[in-house]
Structure 1
């Protein structure tokens, strides 16, 4: 029998999705499942984006340009200018989601065996992207006790080797919700300049910032035009996860020219999704004001309720719509499966994402879960009530 590749065997399962069969089995038994496991917002997609697809007059659904239409990239330039990021259209390559943007970036700047340093916990698919690209993730550990702030810059520096090509951050962070300060971004800037590395910033949650704080994009920094690569997407910003439109942004011409070759090899991003994304850029600020207010209330509700549970430790997110909670269990993956298979409260249960999959260091995050506060406040309160009762039952059984 032909064998599977080493790369294929090494590809990790998604910690967000691998428990789906257990959730589906619970639903078939008539149990209601509150999904805290996945960052799929319940916020309505802007009507202007949906109408652009419904009402378009396209007669031939043709290929788009590999780098995305010039109209869309020009509108992106205007969008970024409102965020004090000055760009030109030829510094943007449109991709099929932020995921493809990262694939193209890894392929453009790293060879087999090269290394990328990432603060962990990090978005679980970074592990998959790196394995698919033949790249080694070198983790630098951030701690729940520090609210997952940037680790000391010395911790980064001692991990740099001749194979290191880049540092990758997610800002605000998935799964932690941490928002990097101006000072932290400057420390990273100085480090990549010192060691001639790329600084990649996944900024797809830019709009979701709380407590009067400000998002600090690496594209606003002076002196790192040749080192900075930004990853972006419409998925979360406009609640358009199914559109699969993202982009790679850099002022480094060689990077953009190389990313374009990868974009040409896959032909083009999807045309209808481009139409929707271009229209979404017309979304008024009032939409975001309401969304941010809603997420802020959800965050406060979730954190307040979790802090009431004995033995639970939770980091307070400053952005995005996730938090990491440390539970009084030995193995959060076993608990997450058990609560779907064996437990319900008044015929309801919850689904969380075990946090071990958001680390690359073995056994880190083993008693943690990621919770996405993408449900309404009453559902979040009910979910935490179920979680509290489940923890009591689970620990009695153990």
Structure 2
């Protein structure tokens, strides 16, 4: 029998999706499952985006330009300029989701066995993207004790070798919700300029900043003109996860020429989704005001309820719509499975994402879980209540 690749063997399971069979089994028993495991917003997609697809009239559904519709890239550049980012449409390549943008970024900046430094915990698919490109992740640890703030720059410097080519951040963070300060972004800027590295910033949650905190984009820092690569997506901004449209943005022309080769190899991004995404840019600012207000209220309700559970440690994030909580259990993966297989509170249970899958360091984050506060406030309160009661039972079993 032919053997699969070592790369295929090493490809990690998604901590977000690997428990789906357990959730399906729970539902087959008639249980209602509250999905805290995945960042699927329940906010309605802007009607204009949906209507644009309905109104599209084609006799032939053709390829688009490999970089995406020029009209969309120009409109997107105008959007960025409105947020004080010096971006021209020629600095943008439209991709099939933020995931493909990350793949293009890694493929254009790192060769097999090169190293990329990433603060952990980090978005779980960074592991998979790196394995796909033969790249080695070098993690630098952040801590729940300070809300997963940027680790000391001295810790980064200790890890830089001749094989180090880039630093990757998610800002605001997935899974932590941490929003990097202006001072932290300046520290990273000084570091990558000093060591002549790329700074890849996954900014797909850039609109979701709370409590007066401001998102600082890598594209707003002049010193990073040749170092910065921004990854963006419509998935969360417009509640359009199924569109699978993102982009890679950089002022570095050599980098974008390389990325364009990857774009040409996959031919073009999807036409209907580009139509929807271009139309979504007409969404009024009031849409975001309402969405951010709603998520901030959800965060406040959920975090307060979690903090009232004995033994749970969690801080209020200032961005995105995720939090990482430390639970009074030995293994959050076992706890997550148990919640779905063996526990319900009046026919209801919850699904969480064990956080060990968001680390690359073995044995770290075993008692942590990521949760997304993308449900209605009453559902979040109910989820916290279920977790509170479930922990009382589980701790007795675990002992």
TM-score where L is the length of structure 1: 1.00
Distance in 1 separating the partners of 2:317 and 2:89: 33
Matched, 1:314 2:314: yes
Q: How does 1:308-387 map to 2 (within 5 A)?
A: 308-387=308-387
Distance in 1 separating the partners of 2:221 and 2:274: 29
Q: How does 1:200-215 map to 2 (within 5 A)?
A: 200-215=200-215
Partner of residue 157, structure 1: 157
Partner of residue 7, structure 1: 7
Distance in 2 separating the partners of 1:86 and 1:72: 17
Distance in 2 separating the partners of 1:160 and 1:316: 32
Distance in 1 separating the partners of 2:138 and 2:117: 5
Partner of residue 260, structure 1: 260
Any conservation in 2 of the 1:176–1:315 contact (CA below 8 Å)? Answer: no
Runs of 4+ in structure 1 off by over 3 angstroms are: none
Q: Which runs of 5+ in 2 are unaligned?
A: none
Matched, 1:170 2:166: no
Secondary structure of 2:166's partner? strand
- Render the CA deviation track for 1:244-279: whole Å, top value 9, x for unaligned: 000000000011000000000000000000000000
Distance in 1 separating the partners of 2:71 and 2:58: 16
- Render the CA deviation track for 1:58-99: whole Å, top value 9, x for unaligned: 221110110001100000111001110011111101000000
Matched, 1:187 2:187: yes
- Render the CA deviation track for 1:24-75: whole Å, top value 9, x for unaligned: 0000110000000000000000000000001112221110110001100000
Give the number of aligned pairs: 398
Distance in 2 separating the partners of 1:29 and 1:294: 32
Partner of residue 69, structure 2: 69
Q: How does 1:167-316 map to 2 (within 5 A)?
A: 167-316=167-316
TM-score where L is the length of structure 2: 0.99
Secondary structure of 1:313's partner? coil
Partner of residue 29, structure 1: 29
Secondary structure of 1:223's partner? helix
Shift of 1:222: 1.7
Partner of residue 397, structure 2: 397
- Render the CA deviation track for 1:190-231: whole Å, top value 9, x for unaligned: 000110000000000010000011110011112221111000
User: What is the root-mean-square deviation in Å for CA atoms of aligned residues?
Assistant: 0.5
